Structure 1
Amino acid sequence: MKTKLLFTLLLFSCFMYSQKKEDDHIVRKKILITKTSSSPKIDGILDDAVWQNAPIATNFIERNPNNGKPQADSIKTEVRILYDDTGIYFGAQMYDPTPNKIAKELTERDGINNDDFFGVALNGYNDKQQSLEFVVTAAGVQFDAKLTTDGEDDTWNSIWYSGAKINEKGWAVEIKIPYSELRFPKSNVQEWGMNIFRRIQRIKASYDWNFVDNAKNSYTLFDGVLQGIENINPPTRLSFTPYFSTYVNSFDGKTTSSFNGGMDVKYGINDAFTFDMTLIPDFGQANFDNSILNLTPFEQQFSEQRTFFTEGTELFSKGGMFYSRRVGGEPSRYPVTNDNEEVTEYPAKVKLFNAFKISGRTKKGLGIGFFNGVTQKMEASIFNHETGEARKEVVEPWTNYNVLVFDQRFNGNSSVSLINTNVTRDGNFRDANATGLLWDLNNKKNTYKTFGSVKGSWVMDEGTKFGTKAETGLEKIAGKHRFSLNGNLTTKDWDINDVGFSTKTNFANYNAWYGYRILQPTKTFNNIYLNFNLNYYHRLEPFIFQNFIFNHNNSFTDKSFRNFGGGIEYTPFGQNDIYEPRTFGRHLKVPGYFDSWVWFESDSRKKLQYNFTIDYYAFDEKGRNQVFTNLGLRYRFSDRFNVNWSFNPSFSNNETGFAGKSDTDIFIGRRQRNTYENALTSKYTFNEKTALTLTFRHYFSDVTYKQFYTLNQDGGLAETDLFNKNLNGTYNAWNVDLRFSWWFAPGSQLTLLYRNATSNYLEMSRLNVTKNYDMLFSEPTVNNFSLKLTYFLDYNRVKSWTKKKNIKS
């Protein structure tokens, strides 16, 4: 059945895409700009003479909430554009009859909160596929990102210049974007795709120079055209970012210190491709991980915190096959010891020696990305208590990681991608390889698309294990009414965990989705989203029904900009959980449930904003339920100072889960689990370049086992007294970060960090609050002070300094 359905969907996809294409008749505004011989001062004050005769982009159109409505004269936007031999300039006046009401909350770079903002999206290849965004808030804060048909990648960072000022007419922005930060073909005459946008926060309205139809699913399809740039010579794209850092660590009565140095290098190979390299990297100031008490069969996935791996990742994230935390993650082996030996030292992380990536896209739409990283050999220390001898054992050898991506975009909003990942370890350690082919094909009008993928994984460790993963589907992506039909399967030997992240295997899933949205506000609501889902799962080998799920979600935004919604989920036939027994071919019967939830988020423009969620699972079993809740509060004391607090308690009553195995039996425990998570973030922003941030998190979870069972072959449970281990436990994680950041020059930063952290796991549960904290703080606590300086050096600026010195001499 699964093969027939997947094959039918694939044929239907190909049929839909092969239909006659029609022109979409998207109207594109055009503006012809002129060259200037003198550059304006970038200070947000439009008094430079060069602006007087510059071409003006105006007549903006509302994108939301009233899609297609012309911008009123009282809040009109006028943007003057010029260029010279070094870059392109924008001078914008945003009219506003009440300048004192302009939202201008200060944030760190790349942060937009309660802010009016102005932005430009430039596509040097004019192919509607990828734009570079440059945004300035009314508080003068910069934000930049890559915008593709897949979405917005705000990890991309660029070096450009801007100034913003509130004035009697409203507020103004000046921007200079050097050619070294843009991508465009070598041509005497340039023609770029461009859109310009503005946000007025107090009325939550967005406007664009070129009309953007919200019935379609891609912003990049609706850019206008920028003309007039001629005979420019882009400079050499070469920069160096050396760093110096020092650390003082105090733990368990011992104090250590260290001093580090290294460098990042960025080089523009040509107009399309960029080489990035990190030498002797230092990630000691990365944010802490939100660890939890994990009782599932799968490892916890953490978000990437290291800057080198978060910047410019849109190509490497294709297909979900690269999980960068594997590079410099945990060792792949644990030492084998005998009865008299003890592991006295085991490295928590593997050290990254160096890494580089090459990425870019040609004028014909071919994106190419190549990543390579090398990690060092790591050893564990082992002590023999009988002989008194100590020895070392390699737990991770020298290892090479690489990722290769080819992504061909065409027809405005379609793509085909090929991805390969590889891990090669020195010696007799495990190697791995994975390859995937992905497609995303849209019709000419961008109303329907077909999508899919075929992937294979090879793991070489005392033989070769081969697994596959495949998906195909059809989706309507435009209009009020949308739908999707898709099917996917994953074989039992699918494994990309050497360089990717995969969990559930040996299953097939078939999904049908219908969604409805309004395209224009009603008398009561600005936005309405409704969707309905059906999911059917079964195990592949040997076949067994897993689950059938009906799901409904809805969300609304009213005229006061309050967001709220809820939904239900229902599993009428119960579930056969094939993962919890942790044994191939076995399953655990889980009763069906009815899940319902509601959520609410108040108006984000207010000083006090709050949100809450209540999610309740009622199982078809007496006394079994789950409750997940969230409460969030944010208070903005001023445009400089805000505090965010979240509290997440959850309770699971009479759940069943894996407890252990013997040679003959699988043991399942019935348990009560209570979890509380508190998090606080407070930030004081001195100006657009300097901020002080306090981040706190305390996570507490305890589990109490009530009864143990043996698992029957049919997935049912039989009470047993053969299992008498104590599995009750309490886990605490405590983290405090106090961070001072100063962007003292473009691309250059000084960061001072104080970190306090501790954690514990206790083989007991249901402690009172006082005793729990007493036991937590009796554990050794990490106190860490670090200072890190990074300085951006642009080759062209250094060369100009040298020329000036030579002239003076």
Structure 2
Amino acid sequence: MKLIFTTFLLLLSFIKTNSQTVAKDSISRKKITITKISSAPKIDGILDEEVWKNAAVAEHFIERNPNNGKPESQDFKTTVKVLYDDTGVYFGATMYDPNPENIQKQLAERDNIGNDDVFGITINGYDDHQQAVLFFVQASGVQADAKIMSTANDDFSWNAVWFSAVKINENGWTVEMKIPYSELRFPKKDIQKWGINFVRLIQKTNQNLTWNFVDNKKATYLMYDGILDGIQNIQPPLRLSLTPYFSTYLNNFDGKTTTNFNGGMDIKYGINDAFTFDMTLIPDFGQTNFDNSILNLGPFEQQFDEQRSFFTEGTELFNKGNLFYSRRIGGNPSRYPETSVDEKVTEYPAKVKLFNAFKISGRTNKGLGIGFFNGITEKMEAQIQNEKTGETRKEVVEPWTNYNVLVLDQRFHENSSVTLVNTNVVRDGNFRDANSTAFLWNINDKKNIYNYFGAIKGSWVMDDGTKFGSRGQVGFAKNSGKNQFKFDGNFVTKNWDINDLGFSTSTNFANYNSYYGYRILEPTKKFNNIYLNFNVNYYHRLEPYLFTNLVINHNNQFTNKNFRSYGGGFEFTPFGENDIYEPRTEGRFLKTPSYLNTWIWTESDSRKKFQYNLNFDYYAYNEKGRNLVSPSMYLRYRFSDKFNTVWRFNPSFSNNENGFAGKEGTEIYMGKRQRNTYENSFTSQYTFNDKMSLSLAFRHYYSDVTYKSFFTLNQDGTLTSTNNFDKNLNGTYNSWNVDLRYSWWFAPGSQLTLMYRNAVQDYLGISRMKFKDNFSTLFNEPMVNNISLKLTYYLNYNQAKNWFKKKE
């Protein structure tokens, strides 16, 4: 850790010393000089106020897709007017359209882009080509916003409070917007210079246009913004907002009904122009989406997506290096109680309670990003009963625990960065502690053609001594032009373990990867774009050396002139695999035969009312009777601009696969099994207007496994048939979830949510049940029924201050 930190400081010093010596890429940038006003326009979508007449105008948009670099058509001309005052920046956009009756305006929930025409703005208050905030307004009036990064690590969970209105007229449609300074980040200077670009999406022609030209062949979108000049002598307002919440739940499970009430608050405070403090007090995550659980027969735990908004919003810094898996905070207890022969566990907490959490993040005007996260979880106890005496006792299964994440990310030369990440877990008492540290680099040449990247990481686990593990990567890539390539190598030692606050699976391996890609971004006679790539990946066990796999892969994708996409590919392993993980025992491996995997897919035009995506995936193994068939289907139908439905069906049939069955002493048993899986999901949404919607989400997952025969695993990875293993491992797992949610955004940043949830799951020690019997058995299990109501209200300090002034 000391070596990593010292290396980071030395490189950081070198960057600061030499950052001014590298010339910037000569990208042409348009410029607009903004006008200050004393009387603000009404945000109603109609540009009829006097202040708009003398406003500066941005025009002459250029197509980004599909014809990159083509000037806009005069029939679809776009103009944008800009103004500012002491409270924020105003934008008035006019999107001409010769057929305004055909402007696409599907209603969707906030932050979701429907089948809509869209106008958008990206603003970079530091003009560093590395970060920006994005504000989208759709022709339906629905807003969307995000933080976007040059590294493509965009954050669409970020929500700002801003104002907009649209109006469709005989010439096309217009947008009025006000972005308060409180939602922007910019240095404290008398004269501001911001990076800015305007975006227009035209659905019926599938065109994407920007004000400042964006070259798709190289660099990133943020390298091509224009300049907003002229904002002077403004005082950024105090950035302080409170979002209190109140929630109530009615729960019914196994004949028992309970109720509970909760209250808490999120706090957001702007420490200065660059850094923000976020805190959640007594959080309530009862209305998060359900997890897509599966029947997991593999050697590693299943990883779930984060559903809690506090852990998804504003976390772009904390996700660097992949050391932070926020589901560890408030996850499962780290211990299970030890019991005697006469004892049994009568109560065991399913989840650890989060007491509070906060994060501080931002970036200085010299490009140094700093992120600090801290979370505290409560002590959790299990209850144990002595079945003979009836006495009960409690045992701590998770103590009070503190979680920390620190990130230092220095950007330089507008397109490169080095990063130091540290995570730390401290548990009270004799429970284990953990620490991990990573040093990352991502360096591009000044023309954004070549990229050099890598990482050095270390993990320390303190539990009856200290266990140290390491991980590393180094690579080189060409990311621009028609021809692209990448080479990289990775290693992970056997003691690598970040699972106290991160997520790691495979250890003790090294792999070497090569990639070649060919792309055509300019439309040809038959296609709008073409993507081809070829990959070769070599894997081996690190200690002691053992060849594990060689994977050769090819992918292709085509989009034709009618905007239908299709593609396919193949993958094969010519020498088979020595699987070092399936035996669940260090030093052992399972020989897996070589396979040829082929797939094909097609997707229809998303602008149509009916859209489909069909995929067929087939693995043929070099072993009699062994294969894997995995088709999938996505069907979406848009009944109207307010009502749409989506059905997904993902079956999978694995025939004669070999997998871990158990251990007895030194003997490892493998089983040959048949596994059938069906996953059905259905989502539907009716959107009343741009602030109110009703949505339904349903998922049924069903998987059964049947073992045909058992084998002992030999030292050379081969299998020998055995009759000494007679355990019944056949099983059927079902998971059923229904969420019905009504949402009303009744004020900026404020929301009322009413939700009904229904869930049940079971696992049976039998397989190949009839479909009817399977459902009957599932619905005989105790079912969770939950109704909840949650109210959140956004309170901005500056707004509240004005309320009191008016009263006085």
Structure 1 position 624 matched with structure 2 position 619: no
The letter for the 1-side match of 2:116 is: D
Superposed CA offset, 1:692-742 (max 9, x none): 000000000000000000000000000111110000000000000000000
Where do 1:184-195 residues align within 5 Å?
A: 184-195=186-197
Kindly indicate whether the alpha-carbon contact (under 8 Å) linking 1:566 and 1:597 is maintained by their aligned counterparts in 2.
yes
For 2:91, the equivalent position in structure 1 comes to: 90
Kindly indicate whether the alpha-carbon contact (under 8 Å) linking 2:83 and 2:91 is maintained by their aligned counterparts in 1.
yes
The letter for the 2-side match of 1:149 is: S
Structure 1 position 141 matched with structure 2 position 151: no
**Distance apart, 1:629 and its partner CA:** 1.1
The letter for the 2-side match of 1:448 is: Y
For 2:112, the equivalent position in structure 1 comes to: 111
Structure 1 position 668 matched with structure 2 position 696: no
2-structure distance, mates of 1:609, 1:800: 49
Superposed CA offset, 1:435-486 (max 9, x none): 0000000000000010000000000111111000000000001000000000
The letter for the 2-side match of 1:785 is: I
Kindly indicate whether the alpha-carbon contact (under 8 Å) linking 1:22 and 1:445 is maintained by their aligned counterparts in 2.
no
Kindly indicate whether the alpha-carbon contact (under 8 Å) linking 1:370 and 1:405 is maintained by their aligned counterparts in 2.
yes
**Distance apart, 1:347 and its partner CA:** 0.6
Q: Residue 202 of structure 1: SS of its match in structure 2?
A: coil
The letter for the 1-side match of 2:522 is: Q
Match of 1:481 among 479, 483, 487: 483
Q: Residue 330 of structure 1: SS of its match in structure 2?
A: coil
Kindly indicate whether the alpha-carbon contact (under 8 Å) linking 2:249 and 2:260 is maintained by their aligned counterparts in 1.
yes
Q: Residue 705 of structure 1: SS of its match in structure 2?
A: strand
For 2:413, the equivalent position in structure 1 comes to: 411
1-structure distance, mates of 2:391, 2:618: 57
The letter for the 1-side match of 2:491 is: L
1-structure distance, mates of 2:662, 2:454: 39
The letter for the 2-side match of 1:172 is: T
1-structure distance, mates of 2:145, 2:368: 23
Superposed CA offset, 1:68-101 (max 9, x none): 0000111010000000000000000000001011
Superposed CA offset, 1:786-807 (max 9, x none): 000000000011111111111x
Where do 1:241-260 residues align within 5 Å?
A: 241-260=243-262
The letter for the 1-side match of 2:250 is: V
**Distance apart, 1:22 and its partner CA:** 6.4
2-structure distance, mates of 1:456, 1:43: 55
Kindly indicate whether the alpha-carbon contact (under 8 Å) linking 2:22 and 2:413 is maintained by their aligned counterparts in 1.
no
Structure 1 position 55 matched with structure 2 position 56: yes
Match of 1:751 among 750, 753, 763: 753
For 2:384, the equivalent position in structure 1 comes to: 382
2-structure distance, mates of 1:740, 1:421: 38
Mean Cα displacement is larger for which, 334-343 or 667-676? 334-343
2-structure distance, mates of 1:226, 1:84: 15
Q: Residue 204 of structure 2: SS of its match in structure 1?
A: helix
For 1:520, the equivalent position in structure 2 comes to: 522
Q: Residue 153 of structure 1: SS of its match in structure 2?
A: coil
Aligned-residue identity in percent: 68
Structure 1 position 656 matched with structure 2 position 658: yes
The letter for the 2-side match of 1:670 is: K
Q: Residue 449 of structure 1: SS of its match in structure 2?
A: strand
**Distance apart, 1:21 and its partner CA:** 6.4
**Distance apart, 1:25 and its partner CA:** 1.6
The letter for the 1-side match of 2:133 is: L
**Distance apart, 1:167 and its partner CA:** 1.0
2-structure distance, mates of 1:666, 1:324: 35
Structure 1 position 394 matched with structure 2 position 396: yes
Where do 1:410-559 residues align within 5 Å?
A: 410-559=412-561
For 2:732, the equivalent position in structure 1 comes to: 730
2-structure distance, mates of 1:310, 1:449: 28
Q: Residue 471 of structure 2: SS of its match in structure 1?
A: strand
Superposed CA offset, 1:156-210 (max 9, x none): 1111000111111101111100001100001110000101111001111100110
For 1:566, the equivalent position in structure 2 comes to: 568
Q: Residue 122 of structure 1: SS of its match in structure 2?
A: strand
1-structure distance, mates of 2:649, 2:349: 33
**Distance apart, 1:574 and its partner CA:** 0.2
For 2:364, the equivalent position in structure 1 comes to: 362
2-structure distance, mates of 1:629, 1:330: 34
Q: Residue 203 of structure 1: SS of its match in structure 2?
A: coil
Superposed CA offset, 1:475-508 (max 9, x none): 0010000000000000000000000000001000
Q: Residue 197 of structure 2: SS of its match in structure 1?
A: strand
**Distance apart, 1:143 and its partner CA:** 0.6
Q: Residue 221 of structure 1: SS of its match in structure 2?
A: helix
1-structure distance, mates of 2:174, 2:131: 27
2-structure distance, mates of 1:165, 1:303: 38
For 2:47, the equivalent position in structure 1 comes to: 46
1-structure distance, mates of 2:472, 2:739: 42
Match of 1:598 among 597, 600, 605: 600
Superposed CA offset, 1:72-131 (max 9, x none): 111010000000000000000000001011111100000002111000000011111101
The letter for the 1-side match of 2:622 is: D
Kindly indicate whether the alpha-carbon contact (under 8 Å) linking 1:216 and 1:477 is maintained by their aligned counterparts in 2.
yes
Kindly indicate whether the alpha-carbon contact (under 8 Å) linking 1:539 and 1:546 is maintained by their aligned counterparts in 2.
yes
2-structure distance, mates of 1:737, 1:437: 42
Kindly indicate whether the alpha-carbon contact (under 8 Å) linking 1:262 and 1:280 is maintained by their aligned counterparts in 2.
yes
For 1:121, the equivalent position in structure 2 comes to: 122
The letter for the 2-side match of 1:532 is: F
TM-score (norm 1): 0.97
Mean Cα displacement is larger for which, 22-31 or 422-431? 22-31
For 1:24, the equivalent position in structure 2 comes to: 25
Superposed CA offset, 1:346-379 (max 9, x none): 1110000000000000000110000000000000
Q: Residue 498 of structure 2: SS of its match in structure 1?
A: coil
2-structure distance, mates of 1:557, 1:662: 55
Cα root mean square deviation, aligned: 1.1
2-structure distance, mates of 1:632, 1:186: 50
2-structure distance, mates of 1:211, 1:256: 59
Q: Residue 471 of structure 1: SS of its match in structure 2?
A: strand
Question: How many residues are matched?
Answer: 790
Mean Cα displacement is larger for which, 72-81 or 146-155? 146-155
The letter for the 2-side match of 1:407 is: D
**Distance apart, 1:23 and its partner CA:** 5.1
Residue segments in structure 1 that go unaligned for 5+ positions in a row: 1-13
The letter for the 1-side match of 2:181 is: Y
The letter for the 2-side match of 1:108 is: E
For 1:3, the equivalent position in structure 2 comes to: none
For 1:11, the equivalent position in structure 2 comes to: none
2-structure distance, mates of 1:218, 1:73: 28
Q: Residue 632 of structure 2: SS of its match in structure 1?
A: strand
The letter for the 1-side match of 2:278 is: D
Structure 1 position 99 matched with structure 2 position 100: yes
The letter for the 2-side match of 1:491 is: T
1-structure distance, mates of 2:798, 2:23: 47
Kindly indicate whether the alpha-carbon contact (under 8 Å) linking 1:21 and 1:445 is maintained by their aligned counterparts in 2.
no
Q: Residue 305 of structure 1: SS of its match in structure 2?
A: coil
For 2:802, the equivalent position in structure 1 comes to: 800
Match of 1:291 among 283, 290, 293: 293
Where do 1:634-713 residues align within 5 Å?
A: 634-713=636-715
**Distance apart, 1:519 and its partner CA:** 2.5
1-structure distance, mates of 2:114, 2:593: 43
Q: Residue 74 of structure 1: SS of its match in structure 2?
A: helix
Kindly indicate whether the alpha-carbon contact (under 8 Å) linking 2:24 and 2:413 is maintained by their aligned counterparts in 1.
no
2-structure distance, mates of 1:430, 1:116: 54
2-structure distance, mates of 1:411, 1:449: 13
2-structure distance, mates of 1:22, 1:46: 42
Kindly indicate whether the alpha-carbon contact (under 8 Å) linking 1:56 and 1:78 is maintained by their aligned counterparts in 2.
yes
For 1:275, the equivalent position in structure 2 comes to: 277
1-structure distance, mates of 2:219, 2:579: 36
1-structure distance, mates of 2:736, 2:48: 53
The letter for the 2-side match of 1:25 is: S
For 1:8, the equivalent position in structure 2 comes to: none
TM-score (norm 2): 0.97
Q: Residue 223 of structure 2: SS of its match in structure 1?
A: helix
Regions of 4+ moved over 4 Å: 20-23
Q: Residue 473 of structure 1: SS of its match in structure 2?
A: strand
2-structure distance, mates of 1:779, 1:291: 17
Superposed CA offset, 1:202-239 (max 9, x none): 11110011000001141100000000000001110000
The letter for the 1-side match of 2:240 is: L
